[in-house]
Amino acid sequence: MEIAYVFAVVLSLIHFFGEKIVEKIQKHNEEIKSFASGLLLSFVFLELLGKMTQGISEGYTSVYFFVLLGFSIFHILNKYIYVHSGEKKERIKELGELHFVGFSIDMFFMGVVLSVFLTTNSQIFPLIIALPLILHMCSLTLSTTLLYKKFRVKKRYIVLISLFPILGVLASSLFIEILEVFYYILGFVAGLIIYFATRHIIPKDNKGKIEWYVFGVVLGTLMVFFS
């Protein structure tokens, strides 16, 4: 479990030093998103869904319901955060505040994902799952840095938001060792990841680089098969 905290700290540091990182990665944002989505989805479909099938064979028959639950809850949260009505002047301010909530939730669940995936048998977990999360954090940092400048966010609030990946690992570690709970948490997190990847990581419409997505899928597939 210690390695989950190590990667959570890495994610927190990437977010905290976002302004410096943005300068180096901004022009590669589409490549980062495309590669990360291919790598992450290959692990979800080839490794994680297999674990859930194993849970069903052991009697945990509701595990796929929790996939739907995880996907739906995150979708509802995002709709509440990003679809907002009101007067334009008020909406701009409120949307800024809601975006901060959204980023915090996003980073919290990154910590949950780290904690849950560490309990799988994949011997190369650190590379398979941490890499796309790190790449996504770099991409997310592009958005948060702009908001921090626009709303002149104080440093102490940036520090607080940066701690959410660590809090996610801490929260999930309290329950993950209980076998009766593990498979349901695994299903819930799988739903989150599927939404997380399709909604936030995979570039929309004509954006993104298809060759980088294919490279991520191929690399992720090879890593799972040879782990």
- Mean pLDDT throughout 10-18? 84
The pLDDT of residue 65 is: 92
Q: Would you say 186 and 122 are in contact if contact means Cβ atoms under 8 Å apart?
A: no
pLDDT band at 137 (very low <50, low <70, confident <90, very high): confident
119-133, 159-173, 187-201, 212-226: which range is least confident on average? 119-133
Most confident of 54-58, 134-138, 140-144, 178-182: 54-58
DSSP 175: T
Does the pLDDT at position 69 exceed 80? yes
* CA-wise closest residue to 193 among 26, 5, 36: 36
* CA-wise closest residue to 185 among 130, 101, 119, 122: 119
Q: Would you say 190 and 67 are in contact if contact means Cβ atoms under 8 Å apart?
A: yes
- What tens digit of pLDDT does each residue of 106-125 get? 788 788 877 777 655 555 55
When divided into structural domains, the chain yields a total of 1
Q: H-helix or E-strand containing 63?
A: helix 63-82
Q: Would you say 203 and 33 are in contact if contact means Cβ atoms under 8 Å apart?
A: yes
* CA-wise closest residue to 116 among 224, 198, 4, 6: 4
The pLDDT of residue 197 is: 72
The pLDDT of residue 124 is: 54
Does the pLDDT at position 94 exceed 70? no
| Angstrom distances, CA of residue 59 to CA of 68, 116, 147, 178, 188 | 19, 20, 47, 15, 17
| CA–CA gap between residue 9 and residue 211 (Å, rounded) | 31
Most confident of 31-35, 39-43, 165-169: 165-169
Q: Is the pTM of this model over 0.85?
A: no
* CA-wise closest residue to 107 among 18, 208, 3: 18
Q: What domain range is 31 assigned to?
A: 2-225
pLDDT band at 166 (very low <50, low <70, confident <90, very high): very high
Runs of H (alpha helix) within 17-62? 18-25, 29-43, 49-57
Does the pLDDT at position 88 exceed 60? no
Does the pLDDT at position 142 exceed 60? yes
Q: Count Cβ atoms below 10 Å from residue 160 Cβ, excluding itself.
A: 13
Does the pLDDT at position 85 exceed 50? no
